[in-house]
Amino acid sequence: MSERNVLGGELESCGTEPMTGFYRDGTCTVGPQDVGLHAICAVMTEDFLAHQREVGNDLSTPRPEWGFPGLAPGDRWCVVAVRWLQAYDAGRAAPVVLAATSVRALDVVPLEVLRRHSVDVPPDLSELT
């Protein structure tokens, strides 16, 4: 069975340009080697990137030795759930793509918090009918 997203559906691709995911397969799949839990598909913003840099998690600078291209606003990236929550607590959370966010993110961040920052699901689900 494939990994599920936080909405209960099949986990969708987060992004391929740049290629994201702990396993660099474009998805926020969480496996046994991913102890950091790169589960949240976030859309980078200047504010989120600046916050991460301020707390010692520079996501803007390329690190070729890790296969990391460096990120810019608008890039979609599988971020560590605790790091996203840290930004949320500081009022600087990045938007989230729920369909591409692993259900494992719910081990760290409540669904309602993720929903408030979603870019793919409206706050009132009745709008979908």
Mean pLDDT for 79-86 is 98
Q: Is residue 129 part of a domain?
A: no
Three-state DSSP at 30 gives coil
Let me know if residue 53 belongs to a domain. yes
Residue 15 predicted with pLDDT over 90: yes
**pLDDT bucket at 129, cuts 50 / 70 / 90:** very low
Question: Which CATH number covers residue 8?
Answer: 3.30.56.110
pTM as predicted: 0.90
Contact 109, 6 (CB under 8 A): no
- Tens-digit pLDDT profile for residues 89-109: 999 999 999 999 999 999 999
Q: Which domain does 99 fall in, by range?
A: 1-118
Mean pLDDT taken over the chain: 92
Residue 76: which region, alpha, beta or left (left: phi > 0; alpha: psi -120 to 50)? beta
| Residue 44, in any domain of the structure | yes
Domain count of the chain? 1
* Domain presence at residue 65: yes
